[in-house]
Amino acid sequence: MQIMSVSGFLAYVNETFKAIWDAQEVAIEGEVFGYRLSQGQWVSFDLKDADGLVNIFLPVWKMQGPPIEDGMRVRVFGLPRVYPKYGKFSLSAERIEIAGEGGLRKALALLRQRLEQEGLFDSSRKRQLPRFPMRIALIASRESAAYGDFIRILNERWRGLEIDLYHVLVQGENAPGQIVRAIEWAGRGVIDHALVPDPMVAGPKGPGRNELRPYDALVLTRGGGSLEELMAFNDERVVRALYGSKIPTLVGIGHERDLTFAEEVADVRASTPTDCARRLVSDRQDVLYELATLERGISEALEFRVDQWRETIANSIDVALRWIKGLEDRRASLTRLFQSFDPRSVVQRGYAIISDGTGQVRTALKGLRPQDTLTIAMRDGTAETLIQSLYAKKEK
Amino acid sequence: MPKKKSDLDFGKAFAELETIAAWFEQGEADLTQGLTKFERAMALATELKGHLQAAENKIKEIKMKHE
């Protein structure tokens, strides 16, 4: 016979469960009943089916999927365990999945309501992508067709982009964590390549090699899939990380039906990975055409200006010439005027100029006396003469 | 880092070219300024076209340490 203490027995039972139970591979499916959150930290509820009930217990941070509520069918992964203090048997859950598309849709509807109320999908906060992005953070799976399509269209349309690929899983339970991490890494903007050696980047590492400018856009893309496969893009953590991104976000998921929350929270949404590339960059042929048009416009405008300037100069010369001609005319008429005052021209017409002994021209008798000498200037010379007598005119 | 051809900020350069085109449209009539702007515009256009014709897209993978 072997005697065990109560706590020893419970420890033995718990160790046994741990040894035989595969918490990763086996899930218990049932309906949620009495869901409650205590102290903001612990979630507990009962999982029921027609004939049984088991208590589920887990810390709230492990609740990573869409919110659950009473009546939902869920699958619980975890470890069976007896809580020693109260001897209570429960399933200590590691993760919970919502079972069936109906349940999933219901859970998503709840999450949507909450995110919408918080304003995460508000169109007023949507930013525009820059017209010519240069550095892009691409979050995608390197093996996916989505990645291939996106890069192909990008290469067809534009050149000179710097694309940093953050390779992530795009489905499965690890996908949301990886995507969130990639968004956070990209958000830091400056990637220290000294710490992250990349064999694909050739060339010497000069100073300032690590000082990269922030990304112009953050692109998250994957191809289509079922609702379950796209769950990473409905994950609240991913949605919040996108919401908090300082870099403008572009999300494109190929699908036919409902939008994922990641697309709804994105600044710009694209319908497929190909559409993502189209929305991100212009077609370079269009831009080359636009450049040619701008160039032609500027050349023509300059030619027009030069013509105008030429005409202005020609007009100015005309005005100057007219001004000079005016001066010339004025000079000629003044010359004629001065010529008419030239005393020599008077002498030519039969008049004479009389001056006294001092050379002063005399036009009156005043101051003259008989026997004074006068000089008479005529057309071809002068004559000196004595005044015989003076006869003044009677004043009237 | 010294300015290389690949460091061209396409968006800024394109916007500058558009501004010059708008200046010419407005019909400012300063010959010296016009010629300076014309030269700048032609240099920008050449650089932008060169960027689109010669450059390739560079893709590199960022290695994240997953916890």
**Cβ proximity of A240 and A186 under 8 Å:** no
**Alpha carbons within 13 A on the beta-carbon side of A246:** 8
Contacts of A285 (CB under 8 A, 6+ apart): none
**Cβ proximity of A78 and A23 under 8 Å:** yes
Q: What is the pLDDT of residue A215?
A: 93
- Cα A258–chain centre separation: 30
Put simply, whether B19 touches A (Cβ < 8 Å) is no
- Pairing relationship of beta strands A27-38 and A73-83 according to DSSP bridges: antiparallel
- Mean pLDDT, chain B, whole residue set: 81
| Other CB atoms within 10 A of residue A272 CB | 19
Which strands sit side by side in the sheet containing A249-253, from one edge to the other? A268-270, A249-253, A217-222, A135-140, A162-167, B58-61
Say yes or no to pLDDT of A91 above 50: yes
Cα radius of gyration rounded to whole Å, chain B: 18
Nearest to A243 by CA among A79, A122, A377, A108: A122
| Portion of chain B with pLDDT greater than 70, in percent | 82
The shortest CB-CB distance from B48 to any of A181, A291, A298 is to A291
Q: A251-291, pLDDT tens digit by residue?
A: 999 866 678 999 999 999 999 999 999 999 999 999 999 99
Q: A93-110, pLDDT tens digit by residue?
A: 998 988 877 777 888 888
Instruction: Enter the tokens of residue A361.
Output: 């021209």
Class of residue A257 by CB neighbours under 10 A (exposed 0-12, middle 13-18, buried 19+): exposed
The CATH class for the domain spanning A123-197+211-282 reads alpha beta
The 3-state DSSP composition of chain B as helix, strand, coil percent (nearest 5) reads 65, 5, 30
The shortest CB-CB distance from A155 to any of B11, B57, B66 is to B57
Q: What is the pLDDT of residue A151?
A: 95
State mean pLDDT over A291-311: 88
Say yes or no to pLDDT of A380 above 90: no
Say yes or no to pLDDT of A396 above 70: no
Higher pLDDT, B35 or A261: A261
Instruction: List CB contacts (< 8 A) between B21 and chain A.
Output: 294, 297-298, 301
Task: Flag whether the ipTM exceeds 0.90.
Answer: no
Backbone angles phi, psi at A117, to 5 degrees: -60, -35
CA distance B33 to chain A (A): 11
Query: Domain limits of chain A?
Result: 6-118, 123-197+211-282, 293-341, 344-386
Q: What is the pLDDT of residue A208?
A: 42
pTM of the shown model: 0.67
Best A144, A155, A166, A305 member to test B by mutation, with max B CBs in 10 Å, is: A305
* CA distances from residue A161 to A190, A212, A335, B7, B64 in whole angstroms, order as listed: 16, 13, 81, 11, 21
Q: How many residues does chain B have?
A: 67
Q: How confident is the model at residue B65 (pLDDT cuts 50, 70, 90)?
A: low
CA distance A301 to chain B (A): 6
Question: Which amino acid is present at A126?
Answer: K
**Cβ proximity of B57 and A160 under 8 Å:** yes
Put simply, whether B25 touches A (Cβ < 8 Å) is yes
Question: Which amino acid is present at A22?
Answer: D
State mean pLDDT over A34-60: 91
Distance CA A219, CA A251 (A): 6
- Cα A376–chain centre separation: 102
Higher pLDDT, A123 or A306: A123
- Mean pLDDT, chain A, whole residue set: 87
Q: How confident is the model at residue A60 (pLDDT cuts 50, 70, 90)?
A: confident
A6-118 belongs to CATH 2.40.50.140? yes
β-bridge mates for residue A24, sequence order = none
Give per-residue burial for A305-329: e unless 16+ CB within 10 Å, then b.
beeeeeeeeeeeeeeeeeeeeeeee
Q: How confident is the model at residue B66 (pLDDT cuts 50, 70, 90)?
A: low
Instruction: List CB contacts (< 8 A) between A298 and chain B.
Output: 20-21, 24, 38, 41-42
Q: How confident is the model at residue A212 (pLDDT cuts 50, 70, 90)?
A: low
Distance CA A25, CA A299 (A): 72
* CA distances from residue B56 to A32, A155, A161 in whole angstroms, order as listed: 55, 8, 7
Say yes or no to pLDDT of A140 above 80: yes
Q: How confident is the model at residue B26 (pLDDT cuts 50, 70, 90)?
A: confident
The answer to whether the CB atoms of B27 and A305 lie below 8 A apart is: yes
| Portion of chain A with pLDDT greater than 70, in percent | 93
- Pairing relationship of beta strands A217-222 and A381-386 according to DSSP bridges: unpaired
Q: What is the pLDDT of residue A126?
A: 94
Best A288, A294, A313 member to test B by mutation, with max B CBs in 10 Å, is: A294
Cα radius of gyration rounded to whole Å, chain A: 53
- Cα A311–chain centre separation: 43
The answer to whether the CB atoms of A309 and B29 lie below 8 A apart is: yes
Q: What is the pLDDT of residue A312?
A: 86
State mean pLDDT over A198-224: 65
Q: What is the pLDDT of residue A58?
A: 92
Question: What is residue A124's DSSP assignment?
Answer: G
